[in-house]
Amino acid sequence: METLMHPNNNAVLATLPSSEYQGLQSKLTLVSLTRGQTLIDMGESPTQVYFPVGAIVSMINELPDGQTIELHMLGRTCLVGVAALDVPSFYRATVRVSGLAYRLPMSELLSLRERCPTYFIEAQKRTGLLMSHIAQRATCISYHKVEQQLVRWMILMLDRLFDDVIQVTHSELASLIGTRREAVTMALGSLARQGLIEMNRGSIRVPNRAALEMISCDCYWNALGIAHPSLRAASDRNHAQLKVLESV
């Protein structure tokens, strides 16, 4: 548990050179975030930045008709507030999975701008990746079936969890991906019949992530700039065949 609580368990903090990390370390406060807690409201200029080391935070867009949709989720590979650096936030940051995070006052962060160049370069990279994920999310909503959207969501969640069990209800999933609960239930039932997930009340277990990845749409992989697993598998087979031919 002590290892999981270390600031270096957050990928952003782990990339910093020791000189910059030392400058930030004394200003970081370990806090416990609770599911449903709002960290940043839409239109609000955040006063704190959070570096999750266990908690997972949803970026929620609130539509004029009262509906909500998740733009992306932030965990130990990210920081919360990166896309709202000293400007009004375009999303509401709500804790999806309870856990720990390190909190840093925005005023302290801005005062370190000149002394922590690596941090701000890394923050820019994370912002670019975040925008890529949001763009792919829009594509996924427009072109892919509910089942594919759910697979993408589950893979993203597994990236941020220390477990293969996702605590979520069908109603919550429907709200997160912006569709009807009935459509979510049907899609999850299909995945369960294929043996890709195991459903329990209020939770979903993914016994074999690799199998789930093979049926995913391209959106998750495109955002990371990585080829789809099926294409990589074909490439690996072709490479192996070429090696055999070369050895003949």
Answer whether residue 242 shows pLDDT above 60. Answer: no
Region for 99 from its dihedrals, namely left if φ exceeds 0, alpha if ψ lies in -120 to 50, beta otherwise: left
Select from 134, 152, 186 the last residue of a domain.
Answer: 134
pLDDT score of 238 more than 90: no
Q: What is the pTM of this model?
A: 0.80
Q: What is the pLDDT, as a whole number, of residue 227?
A: 61
Per-residue pLDDT, 236: 47
Question: Per-residue pLDDT tens for 199-235?
Answer: 999 999 999 999 998 888 888 787 777 666 666 554 4
pLDDT in tens, 63-77: 777 788 888 889 988
Mark whether 120 and 153 lie in a shared domain. Answer: no
Output 122 or 93, whichever has higher pLDDT: 93
> Who wins on pLDDT, 119 or 49?
49
| Nearest in space to 10 (alpha carbons), one of 38, 51, 62, 70 | 51
Last residue of a domain, one of 134, 158, 188: 134
Q: Do 167 and 99 fall into the same domain?
A: no
What is the pLDDT confidence band of residue 82, given thresholds at 50, 70 and 90?
low
Q: 118 with 67, same domain?
A: yes
> What is residue 216's predicted lDDT score, i.e. its pLDDT?
85
Contact partners, residue 129, CB within 8 Å, separation at least 6: 223, 224
Looking at the fold, whether 105 and 179 belong to one and the same domain comes out as no
pLDDT > 70? residue 166: yes
Looking at the structure, do residues 126 and 174 belong to the same domain, yes or no? no
Give CA–CA dist 224/137, Å, rounded.
13
Structural domain count of the chain: 2
- Who has greater pLDDT, 108 or 169? 169
Which of 134, 158, 193 represents a domain boundary (last residue)?
134
**Domain match, 130 and 157 both:** no
Q: What angle (nearest 5°) sits at the alpha carbon of residue 220, between those of residues 129 and 63?
A: 75
pLDDT of residue 2 exceeding 70: no
Which domain range does residue 196 map to? 144-235
Same domain, 127 and 40: yes
pLDDT tens digits, residue range 88-110?
888 899 999 999 999 999 888 87
How close are the terminal C-alpha atoms of the chain, in Å? 53
Q: What angle do CA 133, 137, 141 make, to 5 degrees?
A: 170
10 and 119 assigned to the same domain = yes
Q: Are residues 184 and 63 in the same domain?
A: no
